[in-house]
Structure 1
Amino acid sequence: MSAGTRGISAGADEVINAVSVIATKRGGNELGDAQIAWMLDGYTRGEVAPEQMSSLLMAIYLRGMTRREIATWTQAMIDSGRRMDLSGLRRDGRPLATVDKHSTGGVGDKITLPLTPLVASFGVAVPQLSGRGLGHTGGTLDKLESIPGWRAELSTTEMFDQLERVGAVICAAGADLAPADRKLYALRDVTGTVESIPLLASSIMSKKIAEGTAALVLDVKTGSGAFLPDESDARELASTMVELGIDAGVDTRALITDMSVPLGRAVGNAVEVAESLEVLAGGGPDDVVELTLALAREMLDAAGLPDADPAEHLANGRAMDTWRAMIAAQGGDPDAPLPVARHTDDVAAESAGVVVEVDARAVGDAAWLAGGGRSKPGEAVAAEAGVIVHVRPGDRVRAGQVLFTLHTQDDDRIPAVRACLRRAARIATGGAAASDAATAHTRPLIIDRVRFG
């Protein structure tokens, strides 16, 4: 008899085992704190079978969780590993404020790259523990590994030392931070339960709270290229995560941002690093700059610097200096040329008109097909692969004008990528539709701000 069937006594009349926990949630009832803690601990240690946890995850997906259940689930995942303590970070004998940012992921979302050194250039420590891409959304670590010599894996000692010396670090999370979440995420990915808001919120926040940062700013995306396309779902996720952070003593706030159109022009790995460098040099696409500055202002406010103007440090080069120091500290060469694809190909407009839509999901899928992403954990990605977007909604185009340029190492991939990109841009060719498209205002990049207290 397995531990998942055998169970333990939780009181005079209750025996907890996996079957009873599954049945409780399957029936639409609340799980008790002891049930949640027992189930997660048992699964992390291998005493609860994957098929039993899969059943519980599906029951949660279908039945949902109360606010208390989500908080307990999150804490149990934090308790499965260690919680880092960043309160001892010092520079010149003074304590360093710590603030982190997390994005729910999108297409062309390279914001972490310019944002981390920008905020750190004000004397704030930014411990950015990041991940790799899966599917149509890119991974921050994959992008940075385009830089020759740069390494994502750092020891805790190396991470703390770099935060004190440079103030900025972007690296992989250690295996001992919320290991229950690491194990659960792999299971959710193959059981169709990833999109559950309670499971999403607890997954993100367990890692961020365990990281030990004093403040956290969330970028919760909505639109066709986002993980949660529906805005009401994005709002619910943002509110849930902000409450979880505050309850855990982390100053947490969120921005809800639009991801119906790719961020910036570049989607991929090395191409996004190049665009990030444009922003750090004081240029770059307007939307990337806008979101970088909006998140920087939130982070600096949370770090106790409400009057700081992040735009100044993009203009005067201080953010770029911090970037160079951050890359060099992790073995990268900030002066090395970025890798360039062997093959490029243009996708042009077949007729004149007005661009009505540039679908973020289709562009993300195209970059993935070009070799820039992975379909399962552990697959290699091509640093050179990606897509450059040349148009935005509302632009007038002529027949034959280039809409997208694809980059790939493998020319056998070009037909599939081209087919995907042909679907990505929708053009109104005349009449009222074209006139309306030319004057239409898309929704703002920054849709809303969520903060309690």
Structure 2
Amino acid sequence: MEWDVHAYLRTKRDGQPHPAGEIRAFVERLARRQIPDYQTAAWLMAAFIHGLNEEELLELTLAMATAGTGRSDPPLFPGTIDKHSTGGVGDTVTLLFLPICAAAGMRIVKLSGRGLGFTGGTLDKLESIPGFRTDLGLEELHQIADRIGCAQGGQSEELAPADKVLYALRDATETVEHPALIASSVMSKKLAAGAESLVLDVKWGSGAFLQELGAARELARRMVEIGRGARRKVSALLTDMNQPLSRAVGNALEVRAALDELRSGCQGRLGRVAVALAQEAARLAGADPEEPTRVAQSGAAFRKTLEWIEAQGGRVDPNSPTYG
């Protein structure tokens, strides 16, 4: 039977769950821009008010991860680890997490975005390093990770295209804050990137988007449920952001502070958070959870950082106090 957008909208307007397959049909048409924005906005508001159950949320996320790709399931790169942070002031954890994981024998490929609101993006920070390339395709990133254990790139326009449509309309229709819609947006991109294991750093407090611990806990729960429903290994940690993680603010200064933290053995708060996340990644990957601590304290993670920066075209001078 022909899919009927009006019947689809009535279902959620009336607070009823969508039958299996209905959300996927909606998302596939959304990715092809076959649904007017006003109908998509109507569905978003109905979903915001009435919510989505676990089955609906998983179907929405998987559909967004695969719509427009010709695949029925997201790609999977066995043994690969990814990380996501909900963002916070002075959050340079990724710059420590990647080399710590790689030095500890894990394989990590991470795709990040740019700054959002008052938090700087990982790509913006890395691009403050002279020559550092973030415009690498997924295949090239995996080649670098095969060689040195880690790689970092940007999210391409082809990654979860339906999410881009929903994201823009959520912003325009005041439906951003719903934990199910946030979780689906985050996880659709993470599943589309193909990592087998995912560590979630869910931040809360005055320096984060989520001000309350309860809201952060609910978002973490939703994202973990989605990941496990998609047969991924997923774990979440809650990070207190009522004070900045780093002593520096500004992309270049934050990179310098991250390098200082790595050089000094990750003894500060920023380093401790990065090591804790790397330990969680090790547990998911079946590796020794104490190895991240050892490589952070021995200097192996700092040396891996220099190797990683060089592999992606960046230039830093480890003998200079400013790394310039």
What TM-score results when the alignment is normalised by the length of structure 1?
0.67
Q: Tell me which of the two structures has the higher relative contact order, counting C-alpha pairs closer than 8 angstroms and 6 or more residues apart.
A: 2
The answer to whether the 8 Å contact 1:264/1:285 transfers is: no
The Cα of 1:141 is off from its aligned counterpart by: 0.3
Correspondence for 1:259 among 241, 265, 269: 241
The Cα of 1:57 is off from its aligned counterpart by: 1.1
Correspondence for 2:227 among 245, 254, 278: 245
The Cα of 1:53 is off from its aligned counterpart by: 0.8
Paired residue secondary structure (2:249)? strand
The Cα of 1:105 is off from its aligned counterpart by: 1.0
Paired residue secondary structure (1:151)? coil
Show the counterpart of 1:192. Answer: 174
In the alignment, structure 1 residue 78 sits paired with structure 2 residue 65: yes
Counterpart amino acid of 1:79?
T
The answer to whether the 8 Å contact 2:163/2:185 transfers is: yes
In the alignment, structure 1 residue 66 sits paired with structure 2 residue 66: no
Show the counterpart of 1:429. Answer: none
The answer to whether the 8 Å contact 2:12/2:18 transfers is: yes
Correspondence list, 1:344-355, <5 A: none
Correspondence for 2:19 among 18, 32, 39: 32
Change over 3 Å in CA distance of 1:339–1:45 after alignment to 2: farther
The Cα of 1:65 is off from its aligned counterpart by: 0.9
In the alignment, structure 1 residue 221 sits paired with structure 2 residue 203: yes
Give the whole-Å Cα distance in 2 for the aligned partners of 1:168 and 1:81. 28
The Cα of 1:275 is off from its aligned counterpart by: 1.0
Structure 1 segments of 4+ aligned residues over 6 angstroms from their partners: 336-340
Show the counterpart of 2:109. Answer: 127
In the alignment, structure 1 residue 281 sits paired with structure 2 residue 263: yes
Whichever structure has more helix as a proportion of its residues is 2
Show the counterpart of 1:20. Answer: 7
Correspondence list, 1:80-99, <5 A: 80-82=67-69, 83-87=74-78, 97-99=79-81
Correspondence for 2:285 among 303, 311, 317: 303
What TM-score results when the alignment is normalised by the length of structure 2?
0.92
Unaligned runs of 5+ in 1: 1-8, 11-15, 88-96, 341-453
Q: Which has the larger radius of gyration?
A: 1
Give the whole-Å Cα distance in 1 for the aligned partners of 2:196 and 2:239. 23
The answer to whether the 8 Å contact 1:221/1:256 transfers is: yes
The answer to whether the 8 Å contact 1:168/1:322 transfers is: no
Paired residue secondary structure (2:136)? coil
Q: How many residues align?
A: 318
The answer to whether the 8 Å contact 2:88/2:241 transfers is: yes
Change over 3 Å in CA distance of 1:235–1:307 after alignment to 2: closer
Q: CA RMSD in A?
A: 2.0
Q: Deviations over 1:187-240 (max 9, x none)?
A: 222222221111111111111122111111111111122222122221111111
The Cα of 1:160 is off from its aligned counterpart by: 1.5
The Cα of 1:81 is off from its aligned counterpart by: 4.3
The answer to whether the 8 Å contact 2:316/2:323 transfers is: no
Q: Deviations over 1:105-147 (max 9, x none)?
A: 1111110011111101122111111110121121000111100
